[in-house]
C-alpha cells in the first residue's frame, strides 16, 4: 500500500492524495472518481435510522476556512488533470458545502464540463430542525480534461440501464434515483460517507471500457475499487487512513460487498 506499481491491476496507496498523485505519471489514468471532503462536519445534527446523530465525520471533513478549503480543492484537481489521459474524464461528488468550489476549480483548470448529475435519494432522512427543505440529493459533476478531444460515453448501455427515472430504451436523464448504501454492502465494515455500488456501476460503465485505469484519490470504503474489479477495470485507490484501506482489502476479497 506504499508505492505505485504500474504492473498491478489493483493498487491501494496509503498517503496524502496530493503528494501521491504528484508521483503518478502524466496521462496515465482514464477516469477519476472523487468523493472529497464535503466540509460539513460543523457540529450540526442529522437523522439516521430514526435517531438524532451528529453530522461530524472526522477531522478530515472539517472546514479550515473558505480560502484554505478552496486551495486544497484546486490543488488536487490540478494534479488530477495532469495525470488524466487527454480523453480522460473526472467525476466529483458533493453537496452545497463544497460543490461550487469544485465547479469553479474545474473551470479554472480548463476542464470541459459535461454533465451535472443529481443523485436523488428516495430514502433520505427528514430535516429535524424543520427550518429547511429535507436534503435529498447530492450533485456529481462530470468533466473532460481536454475540450477538443472527444471522451468515451457508453451511450447505448446507458439507454438500456434499468433506471427508475427514464424508461428503458430512452436516454438516461441527469437525475438518478438511487437509495442510500444498503446494509449488505457494509458487512466488512463501515465508512461514514460510503457510496452505493449502483452509483459507481453507472459512472464506471458510462465512461470507461474494460481494462481502463480508474483512480479514486479519496478511496474511503473502496466502493470504486470493488466495482472497478467487478467490471474488469484497473484501479488505484489513495487514502490517508490505513483502516479504510484495510476495509477496502476485505471488500475486494469479497467482491460483491
Residue 190 pLDDT level (bands cut at 50, 70, 90): confident
Grid coordinates 435510522 are at which residue? 49
Please state the pTM of the whole predicted model. Answer: 0.89
pLDDT digits (tens, 9 = 90+) for 15-33: 999 999 999 999 999 999 9
| pLDDT computed for residue 143 by the predictor | 98
Grid coordinates 470507461 are at which residue? 208
Residue 61, classed as helix, strand or coil, is helix
pLDDT digits (tens, 9 = 90+) for 81-137: 999 999 999 999 999 999 999 999 999 999 999 999 999 999 988 888 889 899 999
**Which CATH fold topology does 29-208 show?**
Rossmann fold (3.40.50)
The DSSP result for 92-131, as a single string, is EEE-TTTHHHHHHHHHHTTPEEEEEEEEE-TTPPP-TTSS
Nearest to 202 by CA among 156, 160, 248, 161: 161
CA atoms within 13 Å, Cβ hemisphere of 158: 19
Task: Give the rounded percent of residues in the chain with a pLDDT score beyond 90.
Answer: 74
Amino acid at each position: 500500500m506504499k508505492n505505485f506499481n504500474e504492473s498491478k491491476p489493483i493498487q491501494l496507496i496509503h498517503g496524502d492524495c496530493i503528494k501521491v498523485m504528484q508521483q503518478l505519471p502524466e496521462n496515465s489514468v482514464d477516469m477519476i472518481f472523487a468523493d472529497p471532503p464535503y466540509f460539513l462536519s460543523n457540529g450540526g445534527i442529522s437523522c439516521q435510522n430514526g435517531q438524532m446523530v451528529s453530522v461530524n465525520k472526522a477531522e478530515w471533513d472539517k472546514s479550515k476556512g473558505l480560502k484554505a478549503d478552496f486551495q486544497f480543492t484546486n490543488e488536487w484537481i490540478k494534479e488530477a488533470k495532469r495525470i488524466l489521459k487527454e480523453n480522460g474524464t473526472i467525476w466529483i461528488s458533493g453537496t452545497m458545502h463544497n460543490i461550487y468550489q469544485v465547479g469553479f476549480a474545474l473551470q479554472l483548470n480548463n476542464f470541459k464540463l459535461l454533465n451535472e448529475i443529481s443523485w436523488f435519494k428516495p430514502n433520505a432522512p427528514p430535516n429535524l430542525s424543520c427550518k429547511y427543505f429535507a436534503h435529498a440529493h447530492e450533485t456529481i459533476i462530470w468533466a473532460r480534461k481536454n475540450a477538443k478531444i472527444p471522451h468515451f460515453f457508453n451511450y447505448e448501455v446507458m439507454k438500456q440501464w434499468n433506471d427508475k427515472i427514464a424508461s428503458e430504451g430512452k436516454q438516461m436523464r441527469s437525475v438518478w434515483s438511487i437509495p442510500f448504501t444498503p446494509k449488505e454492502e457494509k458487512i466488512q465494515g463501515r465508512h461514514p460517507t460510503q457510496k452505493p455500488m449502483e452509483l459507481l456501476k453507472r459512472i464506471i460503465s458510462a465512461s470507461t471500457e474494460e481494462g481502463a485505469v480508474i483512480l479514486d484519490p479519496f478511496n474511503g470504503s473502496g466502493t470504486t475499487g470493488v466495482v472497478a474489479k467487478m467490471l474488469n477495470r484497473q484501479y488505484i485507490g489513495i487514502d490517508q487512513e490505513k483502516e479504510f484501506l484495510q476495509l477496502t482489502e476485505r471488500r475486494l476479497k469479497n467482491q460483491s460487498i
